[in-house]
Structure 1
């Protein structure tokens, strides 16, 4: 069986060899395997040193202090801790939360749970086709009892960038806490939590060539007293998230983030060329429309909807050639069209014939050329399954 071209980096990334090396050093008896919380011997001290180094590496990427980095099991837990932890402080007051219709399910499902507890949630509708959520929309939604704004930095399906700096300034002006899901932004765009007035920010290891099962939540130091712990048992992570630290995963995430910071500019430049190459080639095959903003986006994602007579045929052939997604990985088992694309104004039919390409470290120009060449050959076959789009 021939391997598919991997174009699903938004779902997960392979761990880099140099990161794997760092992880392995924290597993065996002759490495840093100790419990970082064991402070009575050098095994614990050595492990704690590696954890502190990784905390600094995460903080460096987002321009934060290492004491503001809280380890979690991933961005989903970070999102839950951020929203539920803040909401718990106001659960008797039925406060108001602002988010958008195109957030990750970890945000939408958490907001739905909070709504069941009496919170009012406003779901902003993004700009049609582009997916932009603007500061003007946020300003119009603010109420006297608004306590939290939660928006993603980079959309995980279409790659559109949110103007978090403008929204952060607005939140600060109104003394509203601002949470940002940056799982898809780390290593792809510059992040400065102070400049953007971000109070809480969620991060994931496996989206940045680190291990799965590890993430972090940035919590501004003055906000930490307002965050109610969700996992108790030992008082780890400044009392905000208990549980023995997974040293090997933490070290892997730290190493991956350090590499991502070093390569951010050059990698975005390289991937932008590949993205444009694929987009131009797809437009020559059939009628196709772009999902997302044509300019305000990172280079890693290209979401398209096929709307010509070959829509079904092309989407099926692409899936035979490349590992791609039709939506986010958390929704891939759901046959329903992407909630993100529907919120952009795409019809259910257009959303059904949509592909999310996501590029990464091992994507080459040859991959793009091969994919486009195979699609051109496919369209010349008389038995191609054509579909008339209405």
Structure 2
């Protein structure tokens, strides 16, 4: 995708809203603006019906029942609600929470915070060089004291796809609750919460060409009776998440979910061709690089590349405004820190600082890929001179 003079290669950070999604949303800002919780008039009814249709589409994307989908402000809130709900409602003697070492920061931060609030302990499960969960370590850590396990389906930095079926089965056999942050998953693979044995699952609309500001949490019906809300108020969504639902955003989420459910498989093949094409163009330009993460089990549009001896921040700055990509670094209190995900898969500080994440998406094409590779090669040559 081109935006003015920029080639967008940061689809795992956010996706542009599909025009079909935007067109479906627009009427709910004007004619159909009624509060979906206003149950006494036609505009309220219309908004409520539209939200329930969207809820059905989001549920269908992951094989859930509509009543198991709770709309949230995004995946961050969904992850927080999942972790809070399990720990706050815990009446058992189980006090351990397992998270992978490469979970998204909102999962890790929420887990440590709520564990400290409710008297639980957190253990991080190590990963292999590929980013895959270390199965031996996971099996050893999975005891009858484990209450909750949280492992993301697809990593947001290195694109590694986890074997969620195996992990959830192990959790179920031990009697632990399994949560999956699936924000990055729909673009990469099909997911069915029933087939996979998932108890809680988080989604984000803006990762699937929907609007920012809306996400969802799947809560298995067996957990809902004792699941406390994170947000209190008027008791909307069966008391699981209060607040007036943003009809346009929910409608957009539903349309985005429907599109990716119908077109996902075909698009994944195309993403794989485009990402492979970017690698081939870099090789032809004699650019040295190595791929971080699993070479096979990865998001088809993700490329996390180490350019030896090249400072990633300098490279991205040099590429402005031509190429939009990212380092995966976290900026805390104004201090740039190398990615903990890359360190967790064994990269040194220097290697992590030489790594760039690029991701292609629905609106990428071969011309953009060829031009991006050329500009990257020129930028590296300039930095190395």
Name the TM-score class by shorter chain: over 0.9
Q: Is the 8 A contact 1:281 1:372 kept in 2?
A: yes
CA distance in 2, matches of 1:11, 1:330: 15
Is the partner of 2:202 in helix, strand or coil? strand
- 1:97-116 superposed matches below 5 A: 97-116=97-116
Which residue pairs with 1:241 in the alignment? 241
Pick which of 284-293 and 59-68 moved more: 284-293
1:22 aligns with 2:20: no
CA distance in 2, matches of 1:19, 1:309: 39
Is the partner of 1:194 in helix, strand or coil? helix
Which residue pairs with 2:148 in the alignment? 148
Which residue pairs with 1:227 in the alignment? 227
Closer, same or farther in 2 for the Cα pair 1:58/1:134, shift >3 Å?
A: farther
The Cα of 1:241 is off from its aligned counterpart by: 0.4
Closer, same or farther in 2 for the Cα pair 1:246/1:109, shift >3 Å?
A: same
The Cα of 1:197 is off from its aligned counterpart by: 0.3
Provide the aligned C-alpha RMSD in A: 2.2
Closer, same or farther in 2 for the Cα pair 1:332/1:250, shift >3 Å?
A: farther
The Cα of 1:27 is off from its aligned counterpart by: 1.2
The Cα of 1:330 is off from its aligned counterpart by: 7.9
1:385 aligns with 2:383: yes
Q: Is the 8 A contact 1:75 1:215 kept in 2?
A: yes
Which residue pairs with 1:252 in the alignment? 252
Which residue pairs with 1:372 in the alignment? 373
Q: Is the 8 A contact 2:5 2:321 kept in 1?
A: no
CA distance in 1, matches of 2:335, 2:300: 27
CA distance in 1, matches of 2:230, 2:201: 17
Which residue pairs with 1:8 in the alignment? 10
Q: Is the 8 A contact 2:94 2:147 kept in 1?
A: no
1:38 aligns with 2:38: yes
Is the partner of 1:18 in helix, strand or coil? helix
Q: Provide, for residues 154-194 of structure 1, a one-character-per-residue CA deviation record: whole Å limited to 9, x for no partner.
A: 00001100100111111111111100000010232100000
Unaligned runs of 5+ in 2: none
Q: Is the 8 A contact 2:329 2:338 kept in 1?
A: no
1:50 aligns with 2:41: no
Closer, same or farther in 2 for the Cα pair 1:287/1:53, shift >3 Å?
A: same
The Cα of 1:334 is off from its aligned counterpart by: 5.1
The Cα of 1:115 is off from its aligned counterpart by: 3.6
Normalised by the size of structure 2, how large is the TM-score?
Answer: 0.93
The Cα of 1:94 is off from its aligned counterpart by: 6.7
The Cα of 1:289 is off from its aligned counterpart by: 1.3
Unaligned runs of 5+ in 1: none
- 1:57-76 superposed matches below 5 A: 57-76=57-76
Which residue pairs with 1:263 in the alignment? 263
- 1:82-93 superposed matches below 5 A: 82-90=82-90
Pick which of 350-359 and 66-75 moved more: 350-359
Normalised by the size of structure 1, how large is the TM-score?
Answer: 0.92
The Cα of 1:321 is off from its aligned counterpart by: 2.8
Is the partner of 1:222 in helix, strand or coil? helix
- 1:277-288 superposed matches below 5 A: 277-284=277-284, 285-288=286-289
CA distance in 2, matches of 1:309, 1:328: 15
- 1:128-277 superposed matches below 5 A: 128=129, 130-277=130-277
Closer, same or farther in 2 for the Cα pair 1:231/1:315, shift >3 Å?
A: closer
Q: Provide, for residues 225-272 of structure 1, a one-character-per-residue CA deviation record: whole Å limited to 9, x for no partner.
A: 232111111111111100011111000000011011111011100010
Which residue pairs with 1:356 in the alignment? 357
Q: Is the 8 A contact 1:188 1:268 kept in 2?
A: yes
Pick which of 318-327 and 365-374 moved more: 318-327
CA distance in 2, matches of 1:98, 1:153: 15
Equivalenced residues, count: 381
Is the partner of 1:14 in helix, strand or coil? coil
Is the partner of 1:149 in helix, strand or coil? strand
Which residue pairs with 2:301 in the alignment? 300
The Cα of 1:310 is off from its aligned counterpart by: 8.8
Closer, same or farther in 2 for the Cα pair 1:354/1:376, shift >3 Å?
A: closer
Pick which of 317-326 and 97-106 moved more: 317-326
The Cα of 1:119 is off from its aligned counterpart by: 1.2
Q: Is the 8 A contact 2:50 2:251 kept in 1?
A: yes
Q: Is the 8 A contact 1:287 1:308 kept in 2?
A: no
The Cα of 1:332 is off from its aligned counterpart by: 12
